[in-house]
Amino acid sequence: MSLESLAWMAWTPQTAIFFGFIALSLVILTLLAIYRPETPRKGILGFPTTRGDRFFVSLLGSAFICILWLRLGGGELWYALAICIPFAIVMFRFA
């Protein structure tokens, strides 16, 4: 596979950092599942969730927060990130 076949993807340093973060997070979650297994717990979502489930819900919710931010206000995404981080903390703590 040549680099030219990936040109349509518009890889930027920010995109690489984002996907690197996701890959690193999945590695960490896998290692945690191996060395510190957990039983699903029922939180504010109303159904049993594991770390991986809460991570997925956090990513999905953050994507919607960013999309709504762009749709309703536009501007810098740093402000949306300031909303996404507490959202993810709440999801991991209480979901």
3-state secondary structure string across 56-78: HHHHHHHHHHHHHHHHHCCCCCH
Q: What percent of the chain has pLDDT over 70?
A: 91
Split at pLDDT 50, 70, 90, the class of 44 is confident
Mean pLDDT, range 43-68, rounded to an integer? 90
Split at pLDDT 50, 70, 90, the class of 74 is confident
Mean pLDDT, range 70-74, rounded to an integer? 86
- Does 2 score more than 80 pLDDT? no
Q: What percent of the chain has pLDDT over 90?
A: 44
Could you tell me the residue ranges of all domains in the chain?
A: 1-37, 40-95
- 40, 50 Cβ separation under 8 angstroms: yes
Q: What is this structure's pTM?
A: 0.77
Q: In the numeric block, which tokens belong to residue 91?
A: 């999801």
CA dihedral of residues 21, 91, 50, 62 (deg, nearest 10): -40
d(CA 8, CA 42): 42
- Does 29 score more than 80 pLDDT? yes
- Does 12 score more than 90 pLDDT? no
